[in-house]
Amino acid sequence: MANHPAPVLITGASRGIGEATARLFAQKGHSVALLARSAAAIEGLANEIGGLAIPCDVADEPAVRQAVHKSATEFGEIGIIINNAGTLEPAARILDTDPKDWARNIEVNLFGPLYVLRHAVPLLPKGGVVINVSSGAAANPLVGWSAYCASKAGLSILTRVLAIEESDARGIRVYGLLPGVVDTEMQVFNRANRMNEVGDLKREVLRPPTEPAQIMYFLCTPQAADLNGQIINARDGVVRARAGVPVLGDAD
């Protein structure tokens, strides 16, 4: 990455963690493809950081295929894939959830990354990197979040399977990231709905989206090769120190 920064494809790039990650990689000299449903937001960001805006619903496989092709054509290759797009809704107890809404969550949070992987991983060169942004909810049941918990649990195991299938065969590195509770619009939604204890967290205890962005940048460096195949917790003190992110205290 030092001599020729690898082009990066980021889903869910219009705001929050995706936006912070796009800004950081662009600042470090990477070409960045910004994928999100909100065209105006990513076009504005692309103009600001010099990225490539591609409106795309990750739950639409043909649209994903076209977005990947456009990115690879524009940049000559794709070197890093960051699957960040996700949705929390429906926030409802299981017996009150419309199965169609539940299915939409799975389409975005699990099938979306799958579509990106199917079309983009074959284009990665040796040394390419995949990061799938999961959630601590993947291993922690939370009232009202059945779809989110299930989809993120699926994404975490999908990440681990991809690592054992492709790392040795292709020479790529694969990581999952649990970003922690980050100050994004999703948390605004949580505080408004208060389905579970996450909605009770005060904004001042939330972590800034620049922290998981910095950890993801670290994971794309050769220095993180020993962590290949792992699900990384952004609160892990050792990882934070290695990534240059302030280590959390007991009060954080």
Q: Active-site positions?
A: 148
The dihedral region occupied by 3, where left means phi > 0, alpha psi between -120 and 50, and beta the remainder, is alpha
Both tokens assigned to 231: 């699900």
Residue 102 — φ and ψ, nearest 5°? Answer: -60, -45
Is the previous residue joined to 122 through a cis bond, with omega within 30 degrees of 0? Answer: no
Longest dimension (CA), the chain: 54
Q: Residue 145: helix, strand or coil by DSSP?
A: coil
CA 190, 192, 193, 197 dihedral sign is: positive
CA-to-CA dists, residue 120 to 47, 65, 73, 231, angstroms: 24, 8, 12, 20
CA-to-CA dists, residue 63 to 22, 56, 68, 109, 223, angstroms: 20, 6, 9, 16, 34
Q: How far apart are CA 93 and CA 120, in angstroms?
A: 35
Both tokens assigned to 107: 């389409």
Q: How far apart are CA 91 and CA 179, in angstroms?
A: 20
Give the pairing of strands 231-233 and 173-178.
Answer: parallel
